[in-house]
Amino acid sequence: MALARVGGPRMKKSSLLGIAAAALLGVGQAQAGSFDFTTLGAENTALATSVVVGGVTAEGFNNNLSTPANLWLRNVTNDHGLGVCSEGASACRSGGGDVNELDNDGSNEFIRLTLPTGELWETLWVSSLDGGGSGGSEEGRLQWSNDPTFGSVIGSANFAYTGGSVEKEILASIAGFDTSAKYLLFSHPGSVGDDNDYLVWKGTTVADPNFIPAPEPASLTLLGAGIFAMGLARRRRR
């Protein structure tokens, strides 16, 4: 059996195993990233029930997580990001924020985000927390889970309008948040009519240092070739 050559000099069969192992470990390394849903199109635009930006999947729901609803895009001063359009495009274009934002006034709406494999949540921004039409505080609710149905929830927290700010990074103020949670669910803490409406805007992720990538078929083939070559060399020595 001919020995492998790399750049001219002969390579020991044991080196094949080292190269294969290195290739195997290097496959699918996790990446840091960012996502901004306002990059999806123009202001006041109806979207599909599911979109993907920066590897993060956003899905809209109405009443429960088995009823998909169209996502809605806003991108004007103080109103950035995704809402849910349960009432139809014409109503969402002509109505106020309680229609084209994520709200619970008339229908309980949700947005679910899915984390890319091998990454961790770092920041999350919401927008249009502007105090509400009634002049009171606006609130939202975030839940996190590894179950897409949220039948089992790891944790939850409320975030609120404070000090006149209409845009807020929420993870920095949430104690006990699990950055590795696969799914996030945005909804409302109050009952219908509380005028809690807001938009899911943007965020960042970082690589998970504990992530072990799944090997690709080509890397497994290379590893197998290295093991076979080492076994053949041992037989010859015997």
Q: Is the pLDDT of residue 63 over 90?
A: no
pLDDT value of position 229: 65
pLDDT value of position 232: 67
pLDDT value of position 106: 62
Percentage of the chain surpassing pLDDT 90?
A: 47
Res. 138 pLDDT band, cuts 50 70 90 = confident
Percentage of the chain surpassing pLDDT 70?
A: 68
State the virtual CA torsion across 130, 82, 63, 184 in degrees, nearest 10.
Answer: -100
Q: Is the pLDDT of residue 142 over 50?
A: yes
112 within 8 A of 56, measured Cβ to Cβ: no
35 within 8 A of 177, measured Cβ to Cβ: no
DSSP three-state, residue 60: strand
Q: Is the pLDDT of residue 5 over 50?
A: no
CA–CA separation, 220 and 199 (whole Å): 45
DSSP three-state, residue 125: strand
- Please state which architecture CATH assigns to domain 33-207: Sandwich (2.60)
pLDDT tens for each residue of 173-228: 999 999 999 999 999 876 555 567 899 999 999 999 998 876 656 555 665 666 66
Give me the residue spans of the domains in the chain: 33-207
Q: Is the pLDDT of residue 86 over 50?
A: yes
Q: How far, CA to CA in Å, does 202 sit from each of 35, 37, 54, 75? A: 5, 6, 10, 12
Does this model's pTM top 0.95? My answer is no
Res. 147 pLDDT band, cuts 50 70 90 = very high
Q: Is the pLDDT of residue 112 over 60?
A: yes
